[in-house]
Amino acid sequence: MASATVQLRSVDASRHEIAIAGRLYGASAGELRTSLEEIAPRASVIIVDATRLEAIDATALRVFVDALKQLRPRGGRLIFFGLTPANRRLFEITGLDRVATVAADRAAALEAGA
């Protein structure tokens, strides 16, 4: 079972993108948490590229909820794109799709975060 890799990049001064590949489970969620804690204080928008995200568990979902708790009081947003049908269904079941934005693709995510 491959663990996830997390890559950060700045879109501009207030928008940052995180690309996640592989299976994001509890053991690999620490890297995601570290990355989000690094950028959340200065980001108004965090865009998550999930096109290569194979699977995600509740521990990793919690990391995103914690990031939202930092972003929302400042009007910040968390935007996902590229979710597989199974991952999108998990977002729907947990309600994460109601507190974060789910976009069809990167262009739509960038537009939603403009």
Average pLDDT over residues 93-105: 94
**What is the pLDDT confidence band of residue 2, given thresholds at 50, 70 and 90?**
low
What residue segments make up the domains of the chain, in order of their start? 5-112
Q: Facing residues of 69 across strands?
A: none
Q: In the predicted model, what is the mean pLDDT of the chain?
A: 91
Topology (CATH) of 5-112: Transcription Regulator spoIIAA (3.30.750)
Residue 86 pLDDT exceeds 90: yes
Residue 106 pLDDT exceeds 90: yes
DSSP-derived pairing of the beta strands 101-103 and 77-81:
parallel
List pLDDT tens digits, range 46-66: 999 999 999 999 889 999 999
Whole-number percent of the chain with pLDDT over 90: 64
**What's the burial of 107, exposed, middle or buried (CB within 10 Å: 0-12/13-18/19+)?**
exposed
Give the model's pLDDT for residue 1.
45
